[in-house]
Amino acid sequence: MVSINLMPAAVLGRRALERRGRVWGVVCGLCAAAGAVPVGLDVRQQSVAREMERKTAGLGDEVAGARERLSASVQRTEALRQQLARADALRAKNPWASLLTTVGRALPDEVWLSALATSPAAPTGDGVVNIGPAPGQQTVVIDAPKRLRLDGYALDHSHLYQMMSALNSLKVFGRVELAQADSEPMLRGQAVRFELECEW
């Protein structure tokens, strides 16, 4: 079977052009829609990114503030720990009550003390050195005075030497030395005023 189209060629050409135009319009519309989707997504992503940056900046400020507070707390804690360690070191250097009792046992009845002092009077040392058991931990070290000075009176030199011998026999001091001894009038008689240096 043979079909014959009797329409003029000009009409057929116009219709063909119209069909092509419609096809191209649909294609262009689809391309435009497809291009608009990434643009819209990009704008959305930029908006989300800006919001995240704003929130991150706020969190950064909070973190910086928290770090400053933590650093201040750590410094206060370390200062208190060092104070406690210094107090413990001072208390632990010499058992003064037992030392006084021991010295008192060495005193003859004819000898009495008028003063007792450490030499030097105050503890020395750098205070803090890095020798703690854990890495970075600090231990307080305080050097105690090395000598004990005893001032007093004895009825005569023999009682003074008796006291020095008793102090040496205690094995508490490494050396007991007579720093000064002078006769002074006392109670209608004479007494020996002395100063002893006892070294631990």
**In angstroms, rounded to a whole number, what is the distance separating the alpha carbons of residues 161 and 88?**
37
12: tokens are 């057929």
The 10 Å Cβ neighbour count of residue 162 is 17
pLDDT at 131: 42
Place of tokens 């052009």: 17
With beta carbons less than 8 A apart as the criterion, state whether 102 and 172 touch.
Answer: yes
pLDDT at 162: 93
Angle at 115 between CA 186 and CA 91, to 5 degrees: 165
pLDDT at 97: 74
Please report how many Cα atoms fall inside a 13 Å half-sphere around the Cα of residue 157, on the Cβ side. Answer: 5
Query: Alpha carbon 113 to chain centroid distance?
Result: 45
With beta carbons less than 8 A apart as the criterion, state whether 178 and 196 touch.
Answer: yes
With beta carbons less than 8 A apart as the criterion, state whether 190 and 160 touch.
Answer: no
pLDDT at 163: 92
pLDDT in tens, 89-98: 666 555 677 7
With beta carbons less than 8 A apart as the criterion, state whether 146 and 200 touch.
Answer: yes
Rg (CA), the chain: 50
What contacts 127, CB < 8 A, 6 or more positions away? 82, 86, 140, 141, 142
**In angstroms, rounded to a whole number, what is the distance separating the alpha carbons of residues 2 and 9?**
18
Q: What is the 3-state secondary structure (H, E, C) of 54-113?
A: HHHHHHHHHHHHHHHHHHHHHHHHHHHHHHHHHHHHHHHCCCHHHHHHHHHHCCCCCEEE
pLDDT at 191: 92
Per-residue pLDDT of the chain (200 residues; tens, 9 = 90+): 556 656 666 666 677 777 777 777 776 676 666 665 565 566 677 777 788 877 777 777 788 888 888 888 888 888 888 888 777 766 655 567 777 888 888 889 899 999 988 877 665 555 444 444 555 555 555 555 678 899 999 999 999 999 999 999 888 888 899 999 999 888 788 899 999 998 87
